[in-house]
Chains A and B, each alone.
Chain A
């Protein structure tokens, strides 16, 4: 399952936030606080896009990003986890305990 950390909610970087543009699966994100621009893959771009709309747990994200089966797929969950960590390291998203 993609939802072992039930209390963790992923949120977009706090104000001034993140700007995002995409063309198909080709994404670029701008971290307004740092002034850094990042080219993102399809999964990372989609995560930022969803989190700009609202805060989500990892399980909610996995549901939004793919089917229920994917949410139960260990490999997908691993990639999702790794992508969330990468995005957090870039300062584009952060995790909040609730």
Chain B
């Protein structure tokens, strides 16, 4: 069963009761909440995610609830907790679904230490995956949303998980769009589902785009990395893909990894293996269609390459 096999009322009832056991890639999240926005967000944005039986093993036990403070009377808030631990301050109630997403990212980045976790998006085509590490504002999520709406598989929007065998473990979850990129993606892919737009968050105005159904269905199939591409959005700039010195790419990847230092020598070796097996690039773009064309050409060239 997947989320869309249920009604919104059923999802809401489950969340308010024993909780919903939701599979997102290699993880199972047990979510409990009586907040309507959380139920709505899961119903709309996780429509294709498998729902597991109650009491299934879960990696993360999460609760989103209204804190019982005096603010509930005039400024309702939402509180995220993980196994009873509260890692963040409460946020305005309108940000409840966004907080679930940020909280899930926190759960993975702090607990899934079997992976080398890179702050990067990852997409795949023809069996070859591109890792897109970039700081906020670089156009990473916009590029990712553009690519997955043109036939690329979404592996992850935010956290690229490298396994011990050098593969990427997918975490196909909603893509977080910020500020102007929300309208850019609406224009680029009018049929895509984008959830509520929430203003005044710490990240500006945010909305989440539903992950493509095929990407969610294939979320347990790892992908082999072929490229590491550092994207940069530059208004009106042509799409330019340039080779990047591998040593430099290594250092920038390490800086973008959540647990590189924690992994010690193994992290160094794992990152070295990743650089060994990929080509490394910088990519600047100012137009999403041009960017997708450039990536398609990259994938086609790889497909046509001998061996």
Chain A residues within 8 Å of B, Cβ to Cβ: 16, 19, 21-24, 26-28, 30, 32, 35, 37, 39-40
Contact = CB atoms under 8 A, between A and B. Distances in A.
Given A28-B272, A32-B264, A35-B261, A23 B246 contact: yes
Q: Which 5 A-B pairs have the closest CB atoms?
A: A26-B247, A23-B246, A21-B272, A30-B268, A28-B250
Contacts of B269: 19
10 contacts: A16-B265, A19-B265, A19-B272, A23-B275, A28-B247, A35-B264, A37-B251, A39-B248, A39-B250, A39-B251
Interface string B259-301: 0110011001100100110000000000000000000000000
B5 interface: no
A68 to B, nearest CB: 29
B265 A28 contact: no
Contacts of A37: 250-251, 254, 260, 268
B245 interface: yes
Contact of A21 (B248, B250, B260): B250
Contacts of B245: 26
Contacts of B264: 32, 35
B168 to A, nearest CB: 20
Contacts of B250: 21, 28, 37, 39
Interface of B is mostly: helix
A39 B271 CA distance: 13
B257 to A, nearest CB: 11
Interface of B: 245-248, 250-251, 254, 260-261, 264-265, 268-269, 272, 275-276
Contacts of A23: 246-247, 275-276
A41 to B, nearest CB: 9
Contacts of A19: 265, 268-269, 272
A45 B264 CA distance: 20
Contacts of A26: 245-248
A22 B268 contact: no
Given A26-B246, A32-B265, A21 B251 contact: no
B279 to A, nearest CB: 10
A22 B246 CA distance: 8
B247 A39 contact: yes
Contacts of B276: 21, 23
Given A26-B247, A35-B261, 12 more contacts: A16-B265, A19-B269, A19-B272, A21-B268, A21-B272, A23-B246, A23-B275, A24-B246, A28-B247, A28-B268, A37-B250, A39-B248
Contacts of A27: 247
Contacts of A32: 264-265
Contacts of B265: 16, 19, 30, 32
Contacts of A35: 261, 264
